[in-house]
Amino acid sequence: MQGTLRTSAAASYSVHEIQSPAGTVVREYVSSAGKVFAITWQGQWPPDMRQLLGSYFEQYAQATKAQSSARLGRRPLEIEQPGLVVQMGGHPRSFRGRAYVPDLLPSGVAAEAIR
């Protein structure tokens, strides 16, 4: 993303916030063991999901493809699978979303904390 990095700490994880020159903000939630368990993003355009999701991208792509025929209009995307949750929505110049792996959430961290 070639952005600036800012790190903040919470009780059982840290948040790495990356802001691109174009204004897109991506937050990586990293456990004390060093594993990224969640990401959030907001910006003018949807981010490169392959870059953000890494090894989870194929699961995301398959779930998105399965939902595309069932979705009508411009509704937010919601994928809830045992190994991956993705929620995203918006419109040009205002996109946001989050993705997390439920099994990797640190003990005591609720999904609602990922914003």
Name the phi and psi angles at 44, rounded to 5.
-70, -25
What pTM, to 2 d.p., does this model score?
0.87
The CB-side HSE value for 37 (13 A sphere, CA atoms) comes to: 21
Interatomic CA distance for residues 92 and 43, integer angstroms: 9
Higher pLDDT, 43 or 1: 43
Q: Domain limits at 40?
A: 4-113
The tens digit of pLDDT for each residue in 73-82 reads 567 889 999 8
The structural domain count of the chain equals 1
Compute the average pLDDT of residues 104-108: 92
Contact 92, 44 (CB under 8 A): yes
